[in-house]
Amino acid sequence: MTAIKLPQQAQTLKKEKVLLTGGTGFVASHVLDSLVTNGYPVVVTVRSEEKGQRLLKSLSSFAAPEQVRYAIIPDISTKNAFDDILTRHQRDEPFTYVIHTASPYQLSFADPINDCLNPAINGTTYLLDSIHRLCPFVKRVVITSSSAAILNPPNHREVYNESSWSEVTWEQAMQPEHTYRASKKFAEQAAWSFLRDNNPRFTIATINNTYTFGPLSRSLTNSAQFSSAEVNTSNRRIWDLIHGKWRDASSGEACIPSTAPVFTFVDVRDVADAHLAALTAPGQRYYTVGGFFSNYQIARIVEEEFGEVLGSEVLPELKGQEDDFEEGKHWKFDVSRSKKELGIRYRGLRESVRDTVVSMLEFEKGTALN
Ligand SMILES: NC(=O)c1ccc[n+]([C@@H]2O[C@H](COP(=O)([O-])OP(=O)(O)OC[C@H]3O[C@@H](n4cnc5c(N)ncnc54)[C@H](OP(=O)(O)O)[C@@H]3O)[C@@H](O)[C@H]2O)c1
């Protein structure tokens, strides 16, 4: 089995320093890999000392000494949470760019407002406000939004692109199935409103990635310390599949969950490249989608690629199962802007699923190169 490839160390370091929020998250881990490989000095925000140390350790074999540092911000929804770190760095080497990925991403929240909406919305506006007040040299803030801010189920458009906006309401946001998608819409709207109302020196770009698969976050611990609870939300279905959860344990029958509501995916490494390219591309929204997928198609790929390794006691029997994706009846997506202006060449589903499974198996065996 191929080991997860380490990014190459950059030959020369750039001067433009980047602040990356949510550094231990799934998407951020890949953004950080791309930043390091491209020679950017980076300060990442993490929620605890332990997470910061873990992150540095995971980068030790390819980041240049001192290229990555961390700052602790336990909760981005605290007003002025970013002031201290921004002020400290402003004095010697100020930030040129900020990439804001931190935001709660789970399937449900006990307290929709405090656990999700506040950190997503206020976390974004407080960060923008601090940069506006304290960092005259920041040129661009790239915000990880989501396709959730674009799609409008159940009343879908025929074709979605960057001009599309979700119509989810604040009232719906209180219902668990709508909280996360509402948090992304309201957070992104708040960012564009901030720009309009305050006319700051910096500009913003948003990456509106859809359901994202790909190798696990580098900063997860491996070996005995690896805990499945740390697998990020969007990779969780692949984790479940390779741990026998799409197969009834007693009868052995396949029980593949419905793919709805989202049948589009993108690889996390393409999302990371989009964030980097958006540092210098026009300041606007970028919808990023690699293609359509279904749970059946994922199961089929895993069976073809890992059937022998995982065995028939784990994987569902696909004979007689139906694919719930109906291409002819499905809405379409137009990602020509991200291809043209960010230069993204999207990976296909097979590559994305294969590399995700490889990384999961290696993390479990404790052989991941982190
Ligand atoms: N994965 C996807 O399919 C997908 C698709 C579209 C958009 N996105 C967006 O991509 C971004 C990253 O998501 P992800 O998939 O990488 O999820 P993730 O692995 O859960 O990362 C989320 C990050 O945000 C941090 N965070 C959450 N709440 C926070 C708070 N109140 N204060 C400080 N930090 C906080 C988390 O820290 P801890 O882990 O320490 O709590 C973590 O580092 C999010 O904005 C998400 O909405 C993800």
Q: Choose the residue to mutate in 100, 101, 160, 227 for probing ligand 1, maximizing ligand atoms within 8 Å of C-beta.
A: 101
What would the two tokens of residue 189 be? 């709207």
Q: How many CA atoms lie within 13 A of 228 on its CB side?
A: 10
**Residue 6: band (very low, low, confident or very high) from pLDDT cuts 50, 70, 90:** low
Retrieve residue 309's tokens.
């390794």
Please state, as a whole number, how many other Cβ atoms lie within 10 Å of the Cβ of residue 151: 25
Q: Look up residue 292 and give its amino acid.
A: F
Percent of the chain with pLDDT over 90: 82
Q: What's the whole-number mean pLDDT along residues 284-310?
A: 97
Residues 6 or more apart whose CB falls under 8 angstroms from that of 317 comprise 247, 252, 253, 254
Burial category of 322 from C-beta neighbours within 10 Å (exposed 0-12, middle 13-18, buried 19 and up): exposed
CA dist 79 and 76 (Å) reads 8
* Centroid of ligand 1 to alpha carbon of 142 (angstroms): 15
Q: How far is the CA of 100 from the centre of ligand 1 (A)?
A: 10
Residue 278 has pLDDT above 70, yes or no: yes
Say if residues 154 and 172 touch (Cβ distance below 8 Å). Answer: no
Q: Span 309-336, mean pLDDT?
A: 94
Which of 33, 103, 122, 143 is the pocket-test mutation for ligand 1 (most atoms within 8 Å of CB)? 103
Q: Per-residue pLDDT for 130 more than 70? A: yes
Joined together, the tokens standing for residue 246 give 């799409």
Q: Is 189 left (phi over 0), alpha (psi -120 to 50) or beta?
A: alpha
Q: What is the pLDDT of residue 370?
A: 42
Domain 17-214+268-289+327-346 has CATH 3.40.50.720: yes
Given the DSSP bridges, would you call strands 159-160 and 332-333 parallel, antiparallel or unpaired?
parallel
Query: What's the pLDDT score for residue 163?
Result: 98
The band of 367, judged by pLDDT with boundaries at 50, 70 and 90, is low
- Measured in Å, residue 103 CA sits from the centre of ligand 1 at 4
CA distance 243 to 310: 9
Q: How far lies 188's CA from each of 59, 199, 245, 273, in Å?
A: 30, 16, 35, 20
Confidence of residue 279 (pLDDT cuts 50, 70, 90): very high
Q: What are phi and psi of 307, to 5 degrees?
A: -50, -45
For a substitution probing ligand 1, which of 24, 27, 121 has the most ligand atoms within 8 Å of its CB? 27
How sure is the predictor about 298, in pLDDT bands with cuts at 50, 70 and 90? very high
Predicted pLDDT at 223: 44
Using CB distances shorter than 6 Å, the residues near ligand 1 are 22, 24-28, 47, 51, 73, 75-77, 101-105, 119, 144, 146, 184, 209, 211-212, 232, 234
- CA atoms of 360 and 355, how far apart (whole Å): 9
Counted residue by residue, the chain has a size of 370
Ligand 1 binding pocket mutation candidate from 21, 26, 333 (most atoms within 8 A of CB): 26
Domain definitions of the chain by residue range: 17-214+268-289+327-346
pLDDT digits (tens, 9 = 90+) for 211-265: 999 999 987 764 456 677 889 999 999 999 999 999 998 888 999 999 999 999 9
Ligand 1 pocket: which of 75, 105, 150, 288 to mutate (most atoms <8 Å of CB)?
A: 105
Mean pLDDT computed over every residue of the chain: 93
Distances in Å between the Cα of 190 and the Cα atoms of 1, 85, 193, 302 are 45, 23, 5, 40
Contacts of 65 (CB under 8 A, 6+ apart): none
For residue 118, which atom of ligand 1 is closest to its CA? 31
Top-ranked range on mean pLDDT: pick from 89-93, 267-271, 360-364: 267-271
Q: What percent of the chain has pLDDT over 70?
A: 95
Q: How many CB atoms lie within 10 A of CB 303?
A: 17
Question: Ligand 1 mean position to 320 CA, how many Å?
Answer: 37
Cβ–Cβ contacts within 10 Å for residue 122, how many? Answer: 19
Ramachandran region, residue 147 (left: φ > 0; alpha: ψ -120 to 50; beta: rest)? alpha
Q: pLDDT grade, residue 317 (50/70/90)?
A: very high
Contacts for 54 with CB less than 8 Å, ≥ 6 apart: 24, 219, 221
115 CA → ligand 1 middle, Å: 12
Rounded distance from Cα 340 to ligand 1 centre (Å): 27
For ligand 1, what atom is nearest to the CA of residue 207? 7
Q: Give residue 222's pLDDT.
A: 47
d(CA 1, CA 362) in angstroms, rounded, equals 9
Per-residue model confidence as pLDDT tens digits over 51-108: 999 999 999 888 988 999 999 999 999 999 999 999 998 887 899 999 999 999 998 8
SS3 state at 206:
strand
CA of 311 to the centre of ligand 1 (A): 33
What's the 102 CA to ligand 1 centre distance in angstroms?
Answer: 5
Q: What distance in angstroms lies between residue 110's CA and the mean position of ligand 1's atoms?
A: 17
Q: Which residue is closest in CA terms to ligand 1's atom 8? A: 146
Q: Ligand 1 centroid to 144 CA: how many Å?
A: 9
Q: Which one, of 56, 58, 194, lies nearest residue 131 by Cα?
A: 194
- Closest to 274 (Cα-Cα) out of 293, 287, 292: 287
327 Cα to the center of ligand 1, angstroms: 30
User: Which atom, in ligand 1's list, is nearest to the CA of 106?
Assistant: 20
Instruction: Please check the confidence at residue 3 and state whether its pLDDT lies above 60.
Output: no
Q: Is the pLDDT of residue 303 over 80?
A: yes
**Token pair 């929804």 in the structure block, residue:** 77
